[in-house]
Amino acid sequence: MANPHPLAGVDEIECVTPDLNGVPRGKVMTAQGFAEGRRLQLARGVMLQGIMGGYPPARFYGSDDGDLALVPDTQHLYRLPWSSTPRAWAICDAQELSGEGSALSTREQLKRVLARYAAHGWAPVVATELEFYVFKQHADPTQPFELPAGELGYGAFCVSSHNGLRPFFDEVYRSMAALGLPRDTVMHEMGVSQFEINLLHGDALLLADQTFLFKHLLKEVGLRHGLSVVCMAKPLAHTPGSSLHIHQSVVRLDGGGNLFSGADGRATEAFSHFIGGQQQAMAELTALLAPNVNAYQRYFHPYASPNNACWAYDNRAAGLRVPASAPAARRLENRLPGADANPYLALATVLGAGLHGIEQRLAPSPPLQGEFEVPEEFKLPCTLPAALERLMRSELAVELFGKEFIEGFGATKALELASFMGEITPWERRILAAQV
C-alpha cells in the first residue's frame, strides 16, 4: 500500500526554518491555509535569536525589524509520527519579501555554497554522524545529568548496551522510517548512555535537512519516554564529548565520478587542495563549528575529540581524517563540529573552506601519523571569546558568508557570552568561596 500524502487528514502544519543556532523557529498554520498557499511571514530578528532568548541590537537585522517570508520547501513535508493529533512539519526557506534568500538564513548560506560547486559542474556528497546522550528527564539544571533507569553502560560499541532504552530506540527507529530518514548504523559510544547514529550519505542540503529533523525527532521522542536527549558538546565532566562528524566527497555532475580520485585510483590534486582549504581555514572559522561556550569544554579535553586542523590517514587524533576506502568513496571526514553545531552552518563552513582550497590551489601540510605534537598554525582557539575574535577579523569568513551574516553571528554570540558571564558557576562557589 502506498504511503498517504503527509498532509492527509492533518489539522496543522509546523512551518519551521533553522535559526542561527539550528533551532527550529517558525509558526503553526492551519492545513487549509497551507494548502491555499497563504503567505507566512516572520520577523527578521528571529534569525539571530540567542540560544537563551533575546536579540542583538536591531541594526544587525534591519533597524525596522521587518519581515521575512517563510516559503515551504515542498520536498520536505513530514507527517509527525509522535503527534497525538494529525500534525505535519514543513521545512521552509527564509526569504526577503522581494524573493531572494535571506543572508541571515543558515539554510540559504548552505544553498549558496552548493551553488558555487554547481557553477564548477560539481556537487558535494556528505554523510553526518551525530553523537548524543540519553539521560533521565532533567528538572534541576544546577545538578549533573543522571543515567536513565535500566541503562547500565556496558562500554563503547557494545551492541547490548541500550537494551534498557529499547522502547525509546524502537520509537526512534519507527519515527525515522515514517519520516523517510534512512539510517546506516547505530552504536553505543564511549560515554555511558552516549550513542551515535549515522545517516546515509547523499546530497548536502538533504543531509542538513535530515540532521535538523533528526535532532528534533530525538527531543520529541525522548519527552514521550520521560527522557532528556542531549546534544550538548560536553554534557558531563570526565566523559567524552559529542560530535557531529561530517564525511565529504565531491562528484562531477557530468557523471564523471568522484572528483577526489583519478582514473588510476589515486588521489587527485583537487583532493589535496580540498584538504588544504579546510586545514588553513578551520582556526578562523572555529566559532561556526563550536558555537557555544560548552563546545570549548570538548576542545579543552580532546580525548577522541580533536582540537586541531591537522590531517591524517585513518587517525582519529587529527581533526581532518581520510578514512580507509576504495577510490570511488575517497572522502574527508571533518571531526571538529560538536553535536551542538547548526548542521546547515557546519556543512556550509567545511564545504565552503574545501572549495576555497580547490579554487586557490592551497597545499596541505604533510599528513601526520601516530601520536603527534600539533604545530602552532593548526591549533584551534579553545574558548568562545578567542574563536569569535578570530572569526570577526577573518576575511575568508566574509568572503564565504557575507558581512551581514558574520556581523550578525558575532553580535548574537556576544549576547550569549554576556548571558553566560552573568552567572556564577558551582565551581566558583565550591572552590573560591572557601579559599579567597
The 10s digit of each residue's pLDDT in 48-106 is: 999 999 999 999 998 677 899 999 998 889 999 998 888 999 999 999 999 999 999 99
Give 360's contacts (C-beta < 8 A, 6+ positions apart).
273, 277
122: nearest Cα among 404, 425, 355, 367: 355
Query: Angle CA(289)–CA(291)–CA(294) in degrees, nearest 5?
Result: 115
The 10s digit of each residue's pLDDT in 147-193 is: 887 655 555 555 555 567 889 999 999 999 999 999 887 878 778 88
- Residue 158 has a pLDDT of 56
Please say whether the dihedral angle defined by the alpha carbons of residues 100, 105, 107 and 113, taken in this order, is positive or negative: positive
- Inter-residue contact 171 to 221 (CB < 8 Å): yes
Q: How far apart are the first and last CA of the chain?
A: 71
SS (H, E, C) 32-95: HHHHCCCCCEEEHHHHHCCCCCCCCCHHHCCCCCCEEEEEEEEEEEEECCCCCCCEEEEEEEEE
Residues of the chain with pLDDT under 70: 1-4, 63, 150-163, 303-304
Distance CA 288, CA 430 (A): 33
- Residue 155 has a pLDDT of 57
Distance CA 109, CA 115 (A): 10
**Can you tell me whether residue 317 is helix, strand or coil?**
coil
Instruction: Domains for the chain: give ranges and CATH numbers.
Output: 12-103 (3.10.20.70), 113-382 (3.30.590.10)
Distance CA 348, CA 400 (A): 9
